[in-house]
Amino acid sequence: MTRCAPFTGSFTQQEPIGEDGIAAAIAVLRSGRLHRYNTRSTETSEASKLESAFARYMGLSYCLACASGGYALHIALCAAGVQPGDAVLTNAFTLAPVPGAIVNAGASPVYVEITPALTIDLADLERKLDTTGARFLLLSHMRGHMADMDAVIHLLADYDVTLIEDCAHTMGARWNGRPSGSFGLVSCFSTQTYKHINSGEGGLLVTNDAELMARATLMSGSYMLYNRHGTPPEEGVFAAARLTTPNFSGRMDNLRASILVPQLTQLDANVDRWNARYALIDRTLRITPMIELPSRPVAERYVGSSIQFRVPTLTDDEAASFVEACSTLGVEIKWFGRDEPVGFTSTYKSWLYTPPATLPQTDRVLSRLFDMRIPLTFSLSDCIQIGEIILFVLSEIRNSKGSH
Ligand SMILES: *Cc1c(COP(=O)(O)O)cnc(C)c1O
């Protein structure tokens, strides 16, 4: 066996919180006022500052900071009017908090096939719009892959179906220049450590709909202090909902908000840094015809915080040994085709709390799909080395195929 130097970096190591974030967090700790409504009369809470800053970044009227991305999705569905028993369409390639949010709203996910580009299959979407009568699509831009948003909007308009976007992997991304998260009636982001801004846990809900925003704010647990928010709708908008909306208690606190505000100013620069890393890995992997990388439409300004690729010629055993051999050389790759979910790779088949679905096309795509994180702590030369290790392991597998 030929040799290859192992990679020694960590796939789960994010960059440290910047000194400006640390200073802001220490100021919150010194104040003792960590709860978002615990403000002095002249003070704007850090949670409210974050809401104003993110609404401005998105070019939308309203932002609500909450406890997690999955929580934001739950109240987005409820505030958008999803009723218990409703069917909610969602693309089958997504993360478990997405079906979880649908179930939490009392509704039932109906999974839609994905294409080899890892985005929702519009033909299957149209079929399911026809057959299910669903009134909502929760579109998850899983791993940052965006469907043709113009086509999605057009199709949904024909059926009068409401779009809700899950932008956990598309914060900072755009479609034809328009921010991901500005297409839906309401959209949700996550600030969990592995997303694009990091507060450990956290979620952001955005919308232009004042009444929806009022309901979501009440649901998040605003008591009657909603006028202290960063981007509150006018007082009168709350009148219809203030006594009839349940409090699902999932606020963001000032400590987490304080470290997010300065990160937002770095987001666009970080998108460029992610994409420089993504481009190098992508270019290295394209050297072998064994690997298929999703081609990314010119309309898509993506955020390359992770990379996905398919190796269609591998058998199941070879796919498992590929992951194993990469891991031995320090390269952490996840495989969506495993029978059993490992770490973050669970698929719709392991969500037994939702109705069973048959999705042969999605199964085919996921069966040979590999996934790798690209933390910003990797240097550009790290990225080339990682790509070369993957090429090396695949060539070893190919050579051993040839030898028997
Ligand atoms: C992380 C993530 C979420 C939910 O985020 P949490 O903040 O962890 O609840 C939703 N959808 C996708 C695709 C994600 O990756």
Copy the structure tokens of residue 317. 């055993």
Which of ligand 1's atoms lies nearest the C-alpha of 68? 7
Report the chain's mean pLDDT, rounded to a whole number.
Answer: 95
Burial class (CB in 10 A: 0-12, 13-18, 19+), 69: buried
Instruction: Round the CA-based radius of gyration of the chain to a whole number and report it.
Output: 22
pLDDT in tens, 170-219: 999 999 999 999 999 999 999 999 999 999 999 999 999 999 999 999 99
Q: Is the CB of 140 under 6 A from ligand 1?
A: yes
33 Cα: distance to centroid of ligand 1 (angstroms): 28
Question: Do 334 and 372 form a contact (C-beta atoms < 8 A)?
Answer: yes
Q: Which residue has the tokens 């294409």?
A: 115
Q: Is the CB of 72 under 6 A from ligand 1?
A: no
Going by pLDDT thresholds of 50, 70 and 90, the confidence category of residue 401 is: confident
Q: Is the CB of 345 under 6 A from ligand 1?
A: no
**Per-residue pLDDT at 2 exceeds 70:** no
Q: Is the CB of 198 under 6 A from ligand 1?
A: no
Burial class (CB in 10 A: 0-12, 13-18, 19+), 343: exposed
Tell me the CA end-to-end span of the chain in Å, nearest whole number.
15
Which of ligand 1's atoms lies nearest the C-alpha of 71? 9
164 Cα: distance to centroid of ligand 1 (angstroms): 14
Residue 19, pLDDT score: 98
Residue 346, pLDDT score: 75
Residue 373, pLDDT score: 97
204 Cα: distance to centroid of ligand 1 (angstroms): 11
pLDDT in tens, 245-275: 999 999 999 999 999 999 999 999 999 999 9
Residue 305, pLDDT score: 98
pLDDT in tens, 139-180: 999 999 999 999 999 999 999 999 999 999 999 999 999 999
Q: How far is the CA of 337 from the CAs of 4, 242, 314, in angstroms?
A: 26, 47, 11
Query: Stretch 58-85: mean pLDDT, rounded?
Result: 98
DSSP 121: -
Residue 3, pLDDT score: 77
| Nearest residue (CA) to ligand 1, atom 6 | 69
Going by pLDDT thresholds of 50, 70 and 90, the confidence category of residue 387 is: very high
Q: Is the CB of 98 under 6 A from ligand 1?
A: yes
H or E element in which residue 165 lies:
strand 162-166
Query: Stretch 273-298: mean pLDDT, rounded?
Result: 96
Q: Is the CB of 166 under 6 A from ligand 1?
A: yes
Copy the structure tokens of residue 11. 């796939």
201 Cα: distance to centroid of ligand 1 (angstroms): 10
Which of ligand 1's atoms lies nearest the C-alpha of 191? 7
Which of ligand 1's atoms lies nearest the C-alpha of 69? 7
DSSP conformation letters of 239-267: TTTTTTS-----BPPHHHHHHHHHHHHHH
95 Cα: distance to centroid of ligand 1 (angstroms): 6
Going by pLDDT thresholds of 50, 70 and 90, the confidence category of residue 223 is: confident
How many CB atoms are located within 10 Å of the residue 61 CB?
14
Copy the structure tokens of residue 286. 């394209």
pLDDT in tens, 319-348: 999 999 999 999 999 999 887 767 666 789
175 Cα: distance to centroid of ligand 1 (angstroms): 20
| Nearest residue (CA) to ligand 1, atom 14 | 168
pLDDT in tens, 120-142: 999 999 999 999 999 999 999 99
Question: Across the strands, what pairs with 87?
Answer: 108
Q: Is the CB of 168 under 6 A from ligand 1?
A: yes
Q: Is the CB of 192 under 6 A from ligand 1?
A: yes
Q: Is the CB of 203 under 6 A from ligand 1?
A: yes
Q: Is the CB of 48 under 6 A from ligand 1?
A: no
**Per-residue pLDDT at 50 exceeds 70:** yes
Q: Is the CB of 362 under 6 A from ligand 1?
A: no
SS3 203: strand
| Nearest residue (CA) to ligand 1, atom 5 | 69
- % of the chain exceeding 90 in pLDDT: 93
